[in-house]
């Protein structure tokens, strides 16, 4: 949740608000829409390896 007086950076479809420094992890999901309320940079990556347990 953004601090008092902070500006909301983006909203993630079906999840909620995102603020500076937030991270989201999706596992076995389809595409998602992000709506920025101001200029924003979003980093997205995909992993193809599994971890050994």
User: Does residue 2 register a pLDDT over 50?
Assistant: no
pLDDT of residue 7: 54
What pLDDT sits at residue 5? 45
Helices vs strands, H then E, count in the chain:
0, 3
Q: Please give the Cα distance from 24 to 38 (Å, whole number).
A: 19
What is the model's pTM? 0.54
How high is the pLDDT of residue 46?
A: 78
pLDDT in tens, 7-53: 566 787 877 888 888 888 877 777 788 888 778 788 888 777 777 77
- Report which of residues 1 and 13 the model is more confident about: 13
């Amino acid at each position: 949740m953004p601090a008092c007086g902070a500006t909301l950076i983006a909203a993630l479809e079906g999840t909620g608000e995102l603020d500076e420094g937030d991270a989201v992890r999706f596992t076995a999901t389809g595409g998602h829409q992000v709506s920025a309320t101001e200029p924003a940079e979003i980093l997205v990556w995909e992993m193809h390896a599994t971890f050994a347990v």
